């Protein structure tokens, strides 16, 4: 199949369908409602299920039930809706159920606005819901990458029995780009012999997150922690830009912001300022080893975000005190321009106020 | 020797943690008997709530999921939509279903999700230690209504069967009780009807059980039974509210 021009939201939906994400439950919210609208048309054609649920609070619990029954299930929403799902996501992580949650981030806090933002980094990466858990978090920076990530997200959710978050922003969801749906092959998955599918021929299965005995609860926490360590070992993904040559500045940016940074890096090059970019594709696990290595070749590191500074904390953790770490961000739905990024870099080079 | 009484296969041999005089044990057994009789055990998934029956999965001998507080109907929706061939029921108390889970139960009922809800109404929060529930009777003393439920301040108790019966979609709604043998027999009949309707993929089914809570009501079991008769029965009538008529099965 050749390339087709598609809106991000619809491309994500189509990719999920092709990856076997045939059960979708959701609640409308801008700027991602096209996902549900697309699936309402598409699911009946492929024998799947689209169901609009009464609230995001309910949606995430429908996911819990369906995942617990062994289905490949997913939802999408945007920031305020994702907040409503946090309780349930904690239960899903605790009960070790696979599901995929797409967050087309809008600006907040509160009702905020409907324009792109990266203000949900903490929520996605640092937990969001209660208790000691992590989600695997992918952050595509183009419609094509979002399309490529959906099958991977479903595979990893099943493989780790863990929720996977695909975090885009209003820009990724709303813009149109040419995409190609490439078939991806993954190694066979273990059977879902833990699912509640009826106890014929076996002992009853229970999907549960209640452990009143502290010894048992601690065991669960350590088991989950070991799983997150496995993710850190095996699942880190990132892209490097301009790192083959010498550079004075290392930028770290993800999603839409990373694309802005690439343009800024070209402009900086024209000014004789060599700059490199590390773009995390996984936000958890964070590519901290590579950030550290690349930082050692730079005078300083800058985290560029559509927030007031969230990922910068992970950049600082990775770099430690070995190099200065600076931050530049726009927020509230404002997308930084390449010129602003250039100016921010120059400011720290001492070339400009 | 002829066996005339035994534990249903759907019931596990784990002793329950329920208080003496509590009706959860009776209701658990009725569910197990009905599921055995209909031959559904090997494809049944129960959903435990948050509340006294949070550990219900220990007491049944089939698959179970434990749900977040109030969300059992959402969890059941997910299971049933993923696997329509499974028999799914939620087991929920009045705090779980009528307070924090009001939205989930109303919308699942209104979509006509084809699972069964077993609703336990004992007019109080049990597990958290006897606080006022949406179903607490006017004037009833609880730890959070120490002067008795003041209906001028917090309104009247919610009648879930009547509320759900006002919706067009949900087709089987019945309130039963288990405070005497006659009522137990009737409750068993209603429960069997509900599961049979699910087995035939007919409709959403809802069975409310009026239940006693001697511990948090502060009454000996027998007195609790009398309190239920005198206070709850007049306000919560035991009756069938809705039953699908055969010719209406396919009607809009």
Q: Is A251:A346 a contact under the CB 8 Å cutoff?
A: no
Q: Which pLDDT does position A352 carry in this prediction?
A: 39
> CB–CB of A197 and B42 under 8 A?
no
> CB–CB of B79 and A196 under 8 A?
yes
Distance of CA A243 to CAs A287, A298, B114, Å? 15, 10, 58
- Domains with residue ranges and CATH for chain B: 24-243 (3.40.50.970)
The sheet with strand B239-242 has its strands ordered as A206-207, B63-66, B44-48, B87-93, B116-121, B205-210, B172-177, B239-242
DSSP three-state, residue A153: helix
Same domain membership, residue A251 and residue A167: no
DSSP three-state, residue B231: helix
DSSP state of B171: -
Mean of the pLDDT values across residues A189-207? 98
Interface test with A, best of B10, B49, B79 (most A CBs within 10 A): B79
- Digit-coded pLDDT (tens) for A125-139: 998 999 999 999 999
**Start-to-end C-alpha separation, chain B:** 54
Confidence band, pLDDT 50/70/90 cuts, at residue B248 = low
> CB–CB of B65 and A206 under 8 A?
yes
Half-sphere exposure of A29 (CA within 13 A, CB side): 30
List, in sequence order, every residue forming a beta bridge with A106; answer none if it has no partner: A116
Relative to beta strand B172-177, strand B239-242 is antiparallel
- Candidate from A268-277, A344-353, B147-156 with smallest mean pLDDT: A344-353
Interface TM-score (ipTM) > 0.85: yes
- In terms of residues, how long is chain A? 353
* Phi, psi angles (nearest 5°) of residue B87: -100, 120
Q: Is A29:A81 a contact under the CB 8 Å cutoff?
A: yes
Structural domain of A325: 239-349
Interface test with B, best of A47, A196, A197 (most B CBs within 10 A): A196
Q: CA geometry: angle at B201 spanning A205 and A191, to 5°?
A: 30
Same domain membership, residue A189 and residue A84: yes
CATH number at residue A281: 3.40.50.920
- Digit-coded pLDDT (tens) for A116-167: 999 999 999 998 999 999 999 999 999 999 999 999 999 999 999 999 999 9
- Token pair, residue A131, equals 């208790």
Does residue A353 register a pLDDT over 50? no
> CB–CB of A73 and B82 under 8 A?
yes
Same domain membership, residue A102 and residue A204: yes
Distance CA B190, CA B184 (A): 10
Angle between the N-to-C axes of helices B24-37 and B181-199, in degrees from 0 to 180, rounded to the nearest 10? 40
Distance CA A204, CA A200 (A): 8
Query: Which of A234, A259, A288 is the C-terminal boundary of a domain?
Result: A234
Q: Which pLDDT does position A170 carry in this prediction?
A: 85
With an 8 Å Cβ cutoff, the interface of chain B facing chain A consists of: 41-45, 47, 54-55, 57, 60-68, 71, 74-83, 86, 103-104, 106-107
- Digit-coded pLDDT (tens) for B180-210: 999 999 999 999 999 999 999 999 999 999 9
Residue B64 CA from chain centroid, whole number: 16
Mean of the pLDDT values across residues A79-108? 98
Does residue A40 register a pLDDT over 60? yes
- H or E element that contains A350: none
Same domain membership, residue A73 and residue A221: yes
Query: Which of A219, A234, A249 is the C-terminal boundary of a domain?
Result: A234
> CB–CB of A23 and B82 under 8 A?
yes
Which of A33, A17, A8, A102 is CA-nearest to residue A63? A102
- Of the partner residues B47, B57, B78, the one whose CB lies closest to the CB of residue A62: B78
- Digit-coded pLDDT (tens) for A204-220: 999 999 999 999 999 99
> CB–CB of B74 and A62 under 8 A?
yes
DSSP state of A333: T
- Candidate from A53-57, A169-173, A221-225 with smallest mean pLDDT: A169-173
- Digit-coded pLDDT (tens) for A232-276: 999 999 999 999 999 999 999 999 999 999 999 999 999 999 999
Q: Which pLDDT does position B252 carry in this prediction?
A: 44
CB under 8 A, 24+ apart: contacts of A186-190: A186/A151, A186/A152, A186/A155, A189/A155, A189/A158, A189/A159, A190/A159
Q: Which pLDDT does position A2 carry in this prediction?
A: 87
Q: Which pLDDT does position A195 carry in this prediction?
A: 98
Same domain membership, residue A308 and residue A178: no
Same domain membership, residue A338 and residue A210: no
How many structural domains are present in chain A? 2
pTM above 0.90, yes or no: yes
């Amino acid at each position: 199949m050749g390339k087709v021009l598609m809106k991000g939201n619809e491309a994500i939906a189509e990719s999920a369908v092709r990856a076997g994400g045939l059960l979708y439950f959701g609640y409308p919210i801008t700027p991602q409602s096209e996902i549900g609208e697309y699936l309402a048309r598409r699911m009946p054609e492929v024998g799947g299920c689209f169901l609009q649920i009464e609230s995001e609070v309910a949606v995430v619990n429908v996911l819990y039930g369906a995942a617990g029954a062994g289905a490949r299930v997913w939802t999408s929403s945007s920031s305020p809706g994702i907040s409503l799902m946090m309780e349930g996501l904690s239960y899903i992580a605790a009960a070790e159920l696979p599901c995929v949650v797409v967050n087309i981030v809008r600006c907040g806090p509160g009702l905020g606005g409907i324009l792109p933002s990266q203000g949900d980094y903490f929520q996605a990466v640092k937990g969001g819901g209660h208790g000691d858990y992590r989600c695997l978090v992918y952050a595509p920076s183009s419609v094509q990458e979002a399309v490529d990530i959906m099958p991977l997200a479903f595979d990893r959710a099943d493989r780790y029995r863990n929720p996977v978050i695909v975090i885009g922003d209003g820009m990724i969801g709303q813009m149109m780009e040419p995409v190609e749906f490439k078939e991806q092959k993954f190694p066979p998955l273990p059977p879902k012999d833990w699912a509640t599918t009826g106890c014929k021929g076996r002992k009853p299965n229970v999907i549960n997150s209640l452990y009143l005995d502290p010894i048992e609860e601690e065991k669960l926490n350590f088991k989950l922690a070991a799983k997150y360590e496995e993710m850190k070992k095996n699942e880190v993904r990132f892209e490097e830009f301009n790192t083959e040559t010498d550079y004075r500045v290392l930028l770290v940016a993800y999603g839409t912001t990373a694309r802005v940074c690439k343009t800024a890096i070209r402009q900086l090059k024209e000014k004789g300022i060599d700059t490199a970019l590390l773009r995390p594709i996984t936000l958890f696990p964070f590519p901290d080893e590579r950030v550290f290595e690349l930082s050692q070749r730079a005078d300083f590191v800058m985290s560029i975000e559509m927030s007031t500074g969230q990922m910068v904390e992970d950049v600082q953790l990775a770099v430690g005190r070995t190099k200065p770490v600076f931050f530049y961000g726009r927020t509230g739905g404002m997308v930084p321009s390449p010129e602003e990024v250039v100016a921010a870099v120059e400011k720290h080079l001492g070339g400009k106020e | 020797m002829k066996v005339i009484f035994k534990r249903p296969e759907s019931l596990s041999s784990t002793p329950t943690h329920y208080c003496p005089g509590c009706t959860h044990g009776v209701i658990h057994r009725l569910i197990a008997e009905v599921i055995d009789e209909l031959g559904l055990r090997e494809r049944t998934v129960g959903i435990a709530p948050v509340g006294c029956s949070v550990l219900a999965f220990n007491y049944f001998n089939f698959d179970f999921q434990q749900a977040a507080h109030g969300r059992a109907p959402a969890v059941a929706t997910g299971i049933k939509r993923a696997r329509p061939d499974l028999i799914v029921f939620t087991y929920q108390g009045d705090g779980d279903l009528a307070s924090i889970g009001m939205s989930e139960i109303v919308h699942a009922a209104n979509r006509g999700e084809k699972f069964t809800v077993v609703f336990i109404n004992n007019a109080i929060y049990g597990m958290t230690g006897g606080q006022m529930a949406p179903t607490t009777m006017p004037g009833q003393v609880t730890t959070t209504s120490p002067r008795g439920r003041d209906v001028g301040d917090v309104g009247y108790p919610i009648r879930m069967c009547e509320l759900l019966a006002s919706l067009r979609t949900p087709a089987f709604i019945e309130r039963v009780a288990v405070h005497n043998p006659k009522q137990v027999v009737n409750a068993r009949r209603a429960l069997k009807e509900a599961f049979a309707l699910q087995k035939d993929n007919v409709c959403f089914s809802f069975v409310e059980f009026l239940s006693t809570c001697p511990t948090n009501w502060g009454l000996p079991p027998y007195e609790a039974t009398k309190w239920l008769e005198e206070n709850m029965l007049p306000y919560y009538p035991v009756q069938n509210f809705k039953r699908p008529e055969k010719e209406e099965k396919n009607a809009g």
